[in-house]
A and B are shown apart, each in its own frame.
Chain A
């Protein structure tokens, strides 16, 4: 009986605990939600890279492809290969005593740099090294003084002084040292001053001032020195640059065809300005033998027809020096302008090219050494070809299809698991003067299209005036029912392909694009969401 109160209490608590057992981790209920999910405002920025766009004062737009298409490689003019020269002197006479601190060997020597073509008399070194390998077999320390008297930096010649320990024939002392030549201005006329591509150096050997006198015997090596000039990159060179023809073929990325997959574009006009800049202190002759556009998607290639440009010599005078270190060259220019009147440029661009392809030949000093070996070059001011293509965005589009694929993480974007039967609505305010057929395809992990989200997919064009100038946007509502199957497709989607097909009104009437045109998209959700 005494246990009754406690037992009753415990029994009550136990019953309460059982009654309070949780069914789930969290309570669950459904809510009806209505609200925006995604928005996007598309202008021509989204179709054409900012760097290609140009807004004219009246707000009309142009595509301007502005790029350096070709720069002359300095190595194509000349290179200074690594060069090694050995200085060896063996005593041929009777034994000769050498007192301490006494010069016992001295020599002047030239190094021929292995430059092919140009005959340079002077070169400024941007970077490079000189390496000295010395072998001493004399029984005394030797001081080696190595100089290039005509290599000047900050008013001082290049000079190295090293002390080499004593050695013997059987056990010589080896020394190796590498020294920077960066920033040296080197006279390449040699010891006599009338040569080219030749550096001049001086070596002197002195006995140890603190050491003892020693004898030099017949057959002793007074000096054994290897000089290696390596990795020389010139900043500037002077002399005669020689006669040379440089062929350059290549392509420049235009990138239009990457997004426009099909359809026809009618352009109003196109202009092309080619600027060939000669920064060499030598005459130059250029000839463009071919210029074409390639659409990689269609494989179609259109060759430029421009009798005034192709296969004609373009003669250019030599550049002049300004005497200013910051901008040392005043280049000469050859300007070529092409438009509808003197070429088939419109057809070239209507091909929607991925690449612009070209072949150019440059001939250096076509008249020979007319400067008296006073040609010059500055490494950063050689030959540059600059292309500027201007396409006013006044065009007609017929079924032009832009396709893009985006990686998406739907599971991150929207947690669709708790979404019940719902209807998403895509609101499109079209401010462009063309009809748009927009499709969003879901692509699963294996690359298969699993769903097409927009049915119908037609988006009406904006209201326009007689000149096809947009007056106001037009709204199109596209319902997107979301059922279980579509949820599954969305969850499994790894990519979304966006396909937009454009057709301008009254094709082939030309329509001008303006910077204020835009297409606004909003995705609105209206459905059941399960709170869990």
Chain B
């Protein structure tokens, strides 16, 4: 017997991961660094980037990969998750691609230091929160819970697929040997699809002899119009705000603070909601008629699909406001030498199961064409992370960047719990 929320999770996750794997891209693209000072010497930059990231504090990459690539999930794979599982666990994923253009203006209303930028992105976002019992029940079944209650709430699952068109302006000013940069951006968000499952309470008690199951849940399933979820479908509209501020000294040490993607998508009134709040005891499908000797006219019994679906009969459609995962980040970059740069940062993603995330980054430029960096972090959707970044200057006007903040999934394929890669190519004009 599958449970409602997991069945939906299965389907939606699978659907999402199709995109997740077809368009490996990372949307953690914050303001691009300029490791070889190319933008400083150019008027414009055109960048295309793509990437993905999956991370969890419990789900291993091995399980995620098996799940999303539709492989068989063995007991040993599940054991690795159980070993690390907390009472409440998180996972999150982002995937997508973007193309952006930035241009420095000679003057703007007779004032200098202005530049503008525009970008188009196709974004997928997924996050969730689940209990250890939910994992055990979903992947191992309820047999181990005979005589016990499996507590699955609070449970959260949310996925979003949207496109974003952004325009922004920035202003750079110098004051007392410091350079200040202010930036603002506004984006139009086109909601293509969302699905969410939220449960405040979901408990399953299996009696010792399995004679009955006591099921107690309060769950709400939401989703956008399922008849229109292909690329280009517009099921919702919204906007986002981007704000940034940084200060840089003469030694190019820089402190920056950014607020990204604070916004919403208002999905239209074809979106559905299925609330289900029930407490009941399941003792099996009633097959009394099977044993009825008293009448020559009988009804053949069959499984009553409405037994489960009966709880979902309150489906209705209504508009829904989806709060986008907004990121607040702080970073400090310090040049130890001309070739060595150290950065530390802290970020938090709101409206998500993300926890505060801190990181440190060391980058060394070997020559005018190669720069390599090491990244260490903790938090977010997972725990400890380690990653690498590599920047390659090609000719005078090209920049190729490759970065992964989560290499554990690549290195420790058995128990790594995060994986991601970001690749971009920039052309300076």
Contacts and interface: CB of A to CB of B under 8 A. Distances in A.
Interface residues of B, number: 59
A52 B295 CA distance: 11
B175 interface: no
A45 B423 CA distance: 73
Interface of A: 1-2, 4-6, 8-9, 12-13, 16-17, 20-42, 45-50, 52, 255, 258-259, 402, 404, 406-409, 412-414, 427, 496, 498, 500, 521-526, 529, 531
Given A13-B50, A409-B302, A5 B140 contact: no
Contacts of A31: 138-143
Interface string B9-35: 010001000000110100000000000
A34 B143 contact: yes
Contact of A36 (B75, B211, B395): B211
Contacts of B285: 37-39, 413
B95 to A, nearest CB: 11
Contacts of B146: 34
Main secondary structure of the interface of B (DSSP, over half): mixed
A17 B300 CA distance: 49
B123 to A, nearest CB: 18
Nearest to A44: B294
Given A20-B21, A31-B141, A36-B211, 6 more contacts: A12-B423, A27-B71, A32-B144, A35-B142, A40-B287, A46-B291
Q: Which of A5, A32, A41 has the most CB of B within 10 A?
A: A5
Contact of A402 (B10, B139, B206, B293): B293
Contacts of B303: 412-414
A37 B50 CA distance: 49
Interface in B276-302: 282-288, 290-296, 298, 300-302
A25 B1 contact: no
A16 B24 contact: yes
Contact of A9 (B1, B292, B296, B425): B425
A532 to B, nearest CB: 10
B143 A526 contact: yes
B290 A29 contact: no
Nearest to B285: A38
A34 B14 contact: no
Contact of B70 (A27, A40, A407, A413): A27
13 contacts: A1-B395, A9-B425, A16-B21, A16-B24, A17-B22, A27-B14, A27-B67, A29-B72, A34-B206, A35-B213, A38-B284, A408-B301, A531-B2
B69 A22 contact: yes
A40 to B, nearest CB: 4
A49 B295 contact: yes
B398 A5 contact: yes
Contact of B290 (A13, A24, A40, A48): A40
Contacts of B140: 31-32
A300 B290 CA distance: 29
Nearest to A36: B284
B231 interface: no
A126 B210 CA distance: 66
B105 interface: no
B394 interface: yes
Interface string B100-121: 0000000000000000000000
Contacts of A2: 395
B6 to A, nearest CB: 9
Contacts of B298: 406
A33 to B, nearest CB: 5
B185 to A, nearest CB: 26
A115 B75 CA distance: 92
Contacts of A427: 209, 211
B278 to A, nearest CB: 17
A524 B209 contact: yes
Nearest to A28: B72
B400 interface: yes
Contacts of A526: 143, 210
Nearest to B281: A36
B66 interface: yes
A32 to B, nearest CB: 4
A316 B24 CA distance: 99
A523 B284 contact: yes
B63 to A, nearest CB: 9
Contacts of A414: 303
B336 interface: no
A439 to B, nearest CB: 12
Given A23-B69, A26-B10, A523-B284, A34 B294 contact: no
Contacts of B14: 26-27
A35 B210 contact: yes
Nearest to A495: B300
Closest 7 CB pairs of A and B: A31-B141, A32-B143, A36-B284, A39-B284, A29-B73, A20-B21, A24-B70
